[in-house]
Every structure is written in C-alpha cells, then in structure tokens.
Structure 1
C-alpha cells in the first residue's frame, strides 16, 4: 500500500500523492492520473522521428502497479490520455490488451484534453469533457477564476530546487490555497513515461490557479511529502 506519510489534506478530504505521480482519493477509492500521452512515440514515428515504441507499455505497467498498491476501483484520467485523437487506433496488441484489462477491472472514465479531444474509448471506459465528483471538478486544464475545488493536469509541473549545491528537478503536484487553506485547486504531475515538464513556478501555472492566497509544489521525497512555496499573495 502507499505510505500514509504521502497523504495530505485537500478541500476537507484526504489525498495521497504516490511516487509514481498518481493521486489516490481514498474516500472515493479512486486513482487519478493526468497526461498519459499514450502512443506519443508512434505519433513522432509517423512524422519521421523514430523513438522506442514502448512508451504505452511502460505507462500502463506503472498504472497497473499504482492500482495494485492503492487498491483503487475507479480511475479518472485528466486529459491528454493519448498524444493525439487517433492514438487509440495505433496501440499495438500487447498494450491494447493491457489497457482493456485495466478498464474491465475498474470503473474507468477518460476526461479528454487538448491533445485528444476526439479520442475513442476503443479499449473500454467512458468519455467526458469534464466531470464533478463529490463536489470536486475534474478537468484537463485549470480554469482561471474557478472557485470550486478542482483537479486538473495539462502543465506537467516539475519543482526545481537546489540542495547541497545540486540542482534537482522532480515531477510534482501544484496546490493552491484560499484564505484559511481549507480548500483550493490542484494540478497533477504528468504520469506518462514519455512526458517532459514545466517549471512549477512558471507564470502560466501560477496564473491558471488564480485567485489564490498561496501556491505550493508538493512532491514525495524519501519517506515523506515535501512542500515548496511557489507563490504568496
């Protein structure tokens, strides 16, 4: 199971950020992942840039591991599930079988993103543009000015810190707080094996989470969850 030291309060509930970059929501028994970008390598191959064609397998294997570790029975993917809307048609048989097994074993919802707005659920699951679950809005990209609790992806945030003369970059969640820090919004790290990252303190991320009184980067570090201040109002 995921270490309880990775749990943290958010909007009156408890969430767990796993080392694999998934977010576990115990009360809903749900696993949330953002920006899988499945079939990114095959997309680039079609455009002349050859990459090892195993990114989808690796991503799905990590997702299967996260499901085993958390025991989650629901999965919500927060957009850019495939690198393009035709990605589901390019899955090789082994990866397609892995994905079909995962969608059969869980209550699986695909939330579409800017990369895959017209994707098909060829391997199972249902599709939505956005969703509200237990008062929490699930969408691909944080909506500026949103005052409801929100979980999103899109930005692939990474925290950059200097520790003992070493520069370290790690995928992270970015969490905003309002007033008494009882609630806010959260941007998940990219889960996919073949995804880059944006500085969590980039103005585009900070702007997307306004209004807020504080914004932090949250990342598993060793046996605990570390927080790094990014912005204070």
Structure 2
C-alpha cells in the first residue's frame, strides 16, 4: 500500500456527530451531519457528489488550486465508514470530477477504496463519472432499494414499476443549500431537502471542493451546521401536505 493510501487510512481524525431520524412510509433513515444518509435496515451508507480530482481538472485549465483537496473529502469518508461500519457504501454519482483529474495517485486510491472503507461499494454513475473509465468500480444505473429509488439526477422510477407510487427518490446532483437571512446577515449552509410533491429527497454534496445550489421552497429541509443537523421548515411550505415526516 502506498504512503498516500496509508495516510488516508491512518491519518483520519476522530469526529463526533448526531444524526436525525426520518421516516418515510416503512423506510427509516438517519440524516448524518457528515452529509450522508444511513439506512440501518440494510446497513447502507449513502453519499453523493465527491468530485474527486476537481483541483487537478481546474489546474489543467490554468486555475491554481492546491492538490490536497481530495484528502479533505476522503478522510472524513473513511472516518465515517470506520464509525458506522456499513455493509455497503452507495455513491449516488459524481465520484470523480472528470478524466483530467484521474491522476495515477487517484486511480490507485479508488482501486483501494473498498479495502479502505471496509465495505462493498455501489456507484450509481453520475454525469461527471460517465466519461471516465474507473477500473474496478463499475458504474451502475439507477435502482430500487426497498422503498427507495436511488439515482444521481432527480428522476422518477420507471413507468413499468408496479410500486412507482410507493418509492421515494433519493438523489444527489443538485448540491442543495439553504440561505438564512437576518437583517444584513446571510448564512449559506448545505442541507437535505425533501420535496413532498415529487416524493424526493435531495442529499448534500459530500465533496470538499463543491459548490451549492438553492433548492427552492421545498416542504422540509435539514441544515448541516457545526457538526449537527438542524431541522428547518420554510414558512411558505408549512401548509402544504406531504407524507409523514418526523
């Protein structure tokens, strides 16, 4: 194992955090302050939008970013996997940022990722992953897990699904954030966002070098702030009806 992989495995600081339990139909999920979803029934850990190699892609276009951004994404992931010990890590797309970012070092790290995380890995291919050849990590299409429909971009289950009305779409791609304003102060935070009309949960981007997009006036949001989850509901959406949210 290379020195870089050893640092990734052994140089991970301890982190503490408390998740928030949320129930949709028969599915119980834990919203984690590490910007991940935990499905305890099958011990699946869901994350999205790591965008590894993004600094190198920017460097190739003349934008000087430091090359250690991936460590700020991978170390928290390894720490989280060591803490919750998932059976399967499900990455909902955009594991990498593009072919120009796939350095030899990153390819070696990705090949070792199942060993480093201690679990199987399912990658739902995202729009940034599709042009990339990721050796040892095949890209899967969207699929059903229990009452969940897992995808990268927001989408509906296939029309031929007999359970279409009973599936919750869990997806990434949007990098949802919420902006809180008070007087002249503004605070922009990553968030989980639930849309009761579409039966969809957007999860925040896991990567350190990723931006965010306002996710609109959805029914429910959970802000990620200071290592904790803060439930927050837009005043405009409180009268809207959705499925049971706790």
Q: Give TM-score, length-normalised by structure 1.
A: 0.80
Tell me the secondary structure at the aligned position of residue 172 of structure 1: strand
Tell me the secondary structure at the aligned position of residue 96 of structure 2: coil
Partners in 1 of 2:121 and 2:204 — Cα distance?
19
Tell me the secondary structure at the aligned position of residue 27 of structure 1: coil
Q: Which residue of 2 aligns with 1:218?
A: 222
Partners in 1 of 2:188 and 2:69 — Cα distance?
21
Q: Which residue of 1 aligns with 2:121?
A: 108
Using the TM superposition, give the Cα deviation of residue 231 of structure 1 relative to its aligned residue in structure 2, in angstroms. 5.7
Partners in 2 of 1:143 and 1:166 — Cα distance?
35
Partners in 2 of 1:126 and 1:100 — Cα distance?
11
Q: Give TM-score, length-normalised by structure 2.
A: 0.76
Structure 1 residues 117 and 230: alpha-carbon distance in aligned structure 2, compared to 1, 3 A threshold: farther
Structure 2: 5+ residue runs without aligned partners?
1-14, 158-163, 241-246
- CA-based RMSD of the aligned residues comes to 2.7
Which residue among 136, 141, 145 is the counterpart of 1:133? 145
Structure 1: 5+ residue runs without aligned partners?
207-213
Tell me the secondary structure at the aligned position of residue 125 of structure 1: coil
Q: Which residue of 1 aligns with 2:199?
A: 184
Deviates more, 1:2-11 or 1:76-85: 2-11
Which residue among 20, 25, 37 is the counterpart of 2:51? 37
Q: Which residue of 2 aligns with 1:69?
A: 83
| Structure index of larger Rg | 2
